[in-house]
């Protein structure tokens, strides 16, 4: 039964990590109605480390574009790839610093359904407003390599907002990038690249914390983590491809509507029950 639950957690992670609808928020809500029978310390680690499967999907899909050592690339292309990685690493710093300082406090005070629901609604409204404001406007930046260092740092600052559960890391960075004049497809792609060091760092932090506190995982818990990561990788491969195709033709308003509806349903569910 726990392996079946892990499969469901992996599916939810693989879908929601890349769509701007909050993976952490969905995992928190899923745990409310379908609790994994694992230790509290393991679950705190699991809901972050399960993202490793999703990260691997980005690496596989964009490996050629992200690899500065690709022998098929010309010198100029390699320089552009190194420059892109530099901008990604610099953009990670704001959320990394705040996350390290406030990790324990946020776990104790913000990982509750009311915060998740309110953030789902708030950013759902934001997506609709921003998309309507930008309707008919041509973006200033149409490619991921055209994002300059200043814009990258500002996108990284927007990523800090995603530390609040229910916000969505991809949602905060994509919304911020669109506000800064980046096209939807370039915003989504930069958000994917930004996820790699961000999520690797967050996973490493949780693992160190889990092991540092003397916690141990049972054989069943290790199986749950492996299955969750594997399923999130497979699902992420499909979702990332679909999302990149979607954003070339459509706006994010639909995700905004989904967030509002889900947020209201969550509030009503927990108030009534």
Q: What is the pLDDT of residue 167?
A: 87
Q: What is the pLDDT of residue 27?
A: 81
Strand partners, 182: 141
Under the banding of pLDDT at 50, 70 and 90, the label for residue 260 is very high
Model confidence at 43: pLDDT above 90? no
Q: What is the pLDDT of residues 85-143, one digit of tens each?
A: 999 999 999 998 998 888 778 878 887 888 888 999 999 999 999 989 888 788 999 99
- The predicted model gives 151-158 an average pLDDT of 95
Model confidence at 20: pLDDT above 80? yes
What is the spatial distance between Cα 244 and Cα 9, in angstroms, rounded to a whole number? Answer: 23
Under the banding of pLDDT at 50, 70 and 90, the label for residue 28 is confident
- The predicted model gives 150-156 an average pLDDT of 96
What is the spatial distance between Cα 88 and Cα 190, in angstroms, rounded to a whole number? Answer: 8
Burial tier of 258 (Cβ tally within 10 Å: 0-12, 13-18, 19+): middle
What is the spatial distance between Cα 102 and Cα 58, in angstroms, rounded to a whole number? Answer: 27
């Amino acid at each position: 039964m726990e392996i079946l639950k892990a499969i469901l957690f992996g599916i939810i992670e693989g879908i929601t990590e890349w769509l701007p609808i909050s993976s952490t928020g969905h995992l928190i809500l899923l745990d409310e109605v379908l609790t994994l029978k694992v230790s509290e310390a393991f679950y705190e680690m699991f809901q972050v480390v399960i993202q490793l499967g999703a990260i691997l999907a980005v690496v596989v899909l964009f490996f050629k574009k992200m690899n500065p050592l690709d022998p098929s690339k010309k010198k100029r292309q390699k320089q552009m790839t190194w420059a892109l990685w530099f901008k990604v690493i610099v953009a990670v710093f704001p959320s990394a610093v705040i996350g390290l300082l406030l990790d324990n406090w946020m776990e104790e005070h913000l990982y509750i359904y009311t915060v998740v629901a309110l953030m789902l609604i708030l950013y759902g409204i934001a997506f609709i407003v921003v998309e309507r404001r930008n309707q008919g406007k041509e973006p200033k930046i149409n490619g991921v390599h055209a994002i300059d260092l200043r814009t990258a740092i500002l996108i990284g600052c927007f990523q800090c907002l995603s530390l609040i559960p229910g916000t969505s890391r991809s949602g905060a960075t994509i919304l911020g990038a669109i506000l800064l004049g980046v096209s939807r497809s370039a915003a989504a792609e930069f958000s994917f690249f930004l996820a790699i060091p961000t999520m690797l760092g967050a996973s490493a932090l949780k693992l160190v914390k889990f092991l540092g506190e003397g916690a141990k995982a049972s054989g069943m818990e290790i199986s749950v983590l492996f299955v969750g990561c594997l399923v999130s990788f497979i699902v992420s491969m499909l979702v990332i491809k679909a999302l990149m195709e979607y954003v070339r033709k459509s706006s994010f308003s639909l995700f905004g509507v989904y967030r509002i509806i889900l947020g209201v349903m969550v509030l009503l569910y927990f108030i009534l029950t």
